[in-house]
């Protein structure tokens, strides 16, 4: 059963998930994906998010663009960690970034970079790793692979 829920404000946000899905595949994990909007389907957001804790989810990624209220509204309805993913839909994504990152005190949203679904997923995986030794080992392996990839690129440029 997936332990990570992903909620996007619109199906027009779906392409942004591609990098995150690749990361998730590397870890052989899945997420439960919903398209729900803080503005257009407020009652459905409340209902879905209120049930996540009881259903055993560990983290929620909420992605939205423009006046991006969704992650804050999600965080208002659960004590699970909420990762906010600002999506570039207008104003280069700065509108969404500022809407998501500037949460008033008491209801935190852990915000990643604009369109950074890979980092959103990695943060959710790090939360899962707190309770799961296998996932934690895979995170170490992921970091090691990344380091080796960069060092290999460094070797290539130095060799010319």
User: Residues interacting with ligand RP5, by CB under 6 A?
Assistant: 9-10, 12-13, 37, 64-66, 87, 89
Six-digit token string for 100 = 């998501």
Of the two residues 121 and 129, which places its CB atom closer to ligand RP5 in the complex?
121
| DSSP type of residue 103 | P
Of the two residues 20 and 27, which places its CB atom closer to ligand RP5 in the complex?
20
Query: In angstroms, rounded to a whole number, what is the distance separating the alpha carbons of residues 82 and 73?
Result: 10
Query: In angstroms, rounded to a whole number, what is the distance separating the alpha carbons of residues 115 and 20?
Result: 10
Q: Are the beta carbons of 40 and 70 closer than 8 angstroms?
A: no
CB of 88 to ligand RP5, least distance (A): 8
CB of 37 to ligand RP5, least distance (A): 5
Of the two residues 36 and 125, which places its CB atom closer to ligand RP5 in the complex?
36
CB of 18 to ligand RP5, least distance (A): 15
């Amino acid at each position: 059963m997936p332990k990570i829920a992903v909620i996007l404000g619109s199906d027009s946000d779906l392409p942004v998930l591609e990098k995150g899905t690749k990361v998730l595949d590397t870890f052989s994990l899945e997420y439960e994906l919903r398209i729900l909007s803080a503005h257009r389907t407020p009652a459905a957001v409340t209902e879905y998010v209120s049930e996540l804790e009881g259903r055993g989810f560990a983290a929620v990624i909420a992605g939205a663009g423009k006046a991006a209220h969704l992650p804050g509204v999600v965080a208002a309805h659960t004590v699970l960690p909420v990762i906010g993913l600002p999506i570039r839909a207008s104003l280069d994504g700065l509108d969404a970034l500022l809407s998501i990152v500037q949460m008033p005190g008491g209801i935190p949203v852990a915000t990643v970079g604009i369109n950074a679904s890979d980092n959103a997923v990695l943060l959710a995986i790090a939360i899962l790793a707190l309770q799961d030794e296998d996932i934690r080992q895979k995170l170490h392996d992921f970091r090691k692979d990344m380091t080796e990839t960069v060092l290999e690129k460094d070797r290539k440029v130095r060799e010319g």
